Chain A
Amino acid sequence: MTATTTTPAHSAPSESPATRPASARQQPAVLGFFSDTWLIFTRQMKLSLRNPAWVIIGLIQPILYLAFFGPLLSKIARGGVLGVSANNPYAFFVPGLLIQLGLFGAAFVGFTIIADWRAGVIERFRVTPVSRMALLAGRVLRDVLTLTVQAIVLVLAGLAFGLRAPIFGVLIGLGFVALVAVSLAAVSYAVGLLLKSEDALAPLLQTVMVPLMLLSGIMLPMTLGPHWLRGIAKATPFGYIINAMRDAFAGHYFNAIMVEGICVAVGLAAVCLWLASRAFIKENA
Chain B
Amino acid sequence: MPIIEASGLARTFTSRKRKVEAVRGVDLTVSGGEIVGFLGPNGAGKTTTLRMLTTLLRPTAGTATVAGCDLLRDPLGVRQRIGYVPQAIGITAGGTDPNCAVGEELAIQGRAYRLSAAETAERAKLLTDQLELTGLESRLCKTLSGGQRRRLDITLGLIHSPSIVFMDEPTTGLDPQSRSNLWEHISGLRSKLGTTIFLTTHYLEEADALCDRVLVIDHGKIIAEGVPDELKRQISGDVVTLSVTGDSAQAKTILAEYPGVREISLDDRAIRMTVTRGEEALPGMLRALDAQDITLASIQLARPTLDDVFLTLTGRSLRDDSPSANGHSGGEGGTQADDQNKNDTGDADDAELTSAGAVAGHPGRS
**Interface, chain A (partner B; CB < 8 A):** 1-13, 15-20, 22-25, 27, 36, 39, 43, 46-47, 50-51, 116-121, 123-130, 283-285
| Cβ contact within 8 Å between A17 and B112 | no
- The answer, among A5, A20, A117, A129, for a CB contact under 8 Å with B161, is A20
Check B221 for interface membership: any CB of A closer than 8 A.
Answer: yes
| Cβ contact within 8 Å between B92 and A118 | yes
CA separation between A18 and B99, bound complex, in Å? Answer: 35
Q: A25-B114, A120-B96 are in contact. Are A6 and B31 (CB under 8 A)?
A: yes
| Cβ contact within 8 Å between B113 and A17 | no
- Which secondary structure dominates where chain A touches chain B? loop
Check B75 for interface membership: any CB of A closer than 8 A.
Answer: yes
- The answer, among B58, B82, B111, for a CB contact under 8 Å with A283, is B58
CA separation between A51 and B91, bound complex, in Å? Answer: 23
- 30 A-B pairs within 8 Å (CB atoms) are namely A1-B27, A6-B227, A9-B212, A10-B190, A10-B212, A12-B32, A12-B33, A15-B194, A17-B3, A18-B67, A22-B67, A22-B77, A23-B113, A23-B160, A24-B81, A24-B160, A27-B114, A39-B108, A43-B104, A117-B92, A119-B98, A120-B94, A124-B84, A127-B54, A127-B84, A129-B79, A129-B114, A130-B112, A283-B55, A284-B56
Residues of A within 8 Å of B34, CB to CB, are 6, 8, 12
Check B29 for interface membership: any CB of A closer than 8 A.
Answer: yes
Check B286 for interface membership: any CB of A closer than 8 A.
Answer: no
Residues of B within 8 Å of A11, CB to CB, are 33
Q: A12-B194, A17-B194, A127-B82 are in contact. Are A118 and B67 (CB under 8 A)?
A: no
- The answer, among B92, B162, B194, B215, for a CB contact under 8 Å with A120, is B92
Q: List the A residue with the shortest CB-CB distance to B94.
A: A120
- The answer, among A18, A24, A125, A129, for a CB contact under 8 Å with B3, is A18
Residues of A within 8 Å of B54, CB to CB, are 127
| Cβ contact within 8 Å between B29 and A5 | yes
Q: List the B residue with the shortest CB-CB distance to A285.
A: B56
Q: How many A-B residue pairs have CB under 8 A?
A: 166
Q: A10-B191, A24-B80 are in contact. Are A129 and B93 (CB under 8 A)?
A: no
Shortest beta-carbon distance from B167 to chain A in Å: 12
Shortest beta-carbon distance from A273 to chain B in Å: 22
Chain B contact patch, size range:
35 or more
Check B76 for interface membership: any CB of A closer than 8 A.
Answer: yes
Residues of A within 8 Å of B92, CB to CB, are 117-120, 123
Q: A12-B33, A25-B114, A120-B92 are in contact. Are A47 and B97 (CB under 8 A)?
A: yes
| Cβ contact within 8 Å between B29 and A4 | yes
| Cβ contact within 8 Å between B100 and A13 | no
Please provide the 5 A-B residue pairs with the shortest distance between their CB atoms, ordered closest to farther. Answer: A12-B33, A124-B95, A24-B80, A13-B194, A120-B95
| Cβ contact within 8 Å between A5 and B2 | yes
Shortest beta-carbon distance from A45 to chain B in Å: 12
CA separation between A285 and B33, bound complex, in Å? Answer: 30
| Cβ contact within 8 Å between B88 and A120 | yes
| Cβ contact within 8 Å between B100 and A17 | no
| Cβ contact within 8 Å between A50 and B76 | no
Among the interface residues B27, B35, B79, which one has the most CB atoms of the partner chain A within 10 A?
Answer: B79
Q: List the B residue with the shortest CB-CB distance to A39.
A: B111
CA separation between A23 and B118, bound complex, in Å? Answer: 13
Residues of B within 8 Å of A6, CB to CB, are 31, 34, 212-213, 226-227
Residues of A within 8 Å of B75, CB to CB, are 283
Residues of A within 8 Å of B249, CB to CB, are none
Residues of A within 8 Å of B194, CB to CB, are 12-13, 15, 17
Residues of B within 8 Å of A120, CB to CB, are 86-88, 92-96, 153
Residues of B within 8 Å of A46, CB to CB, are 104
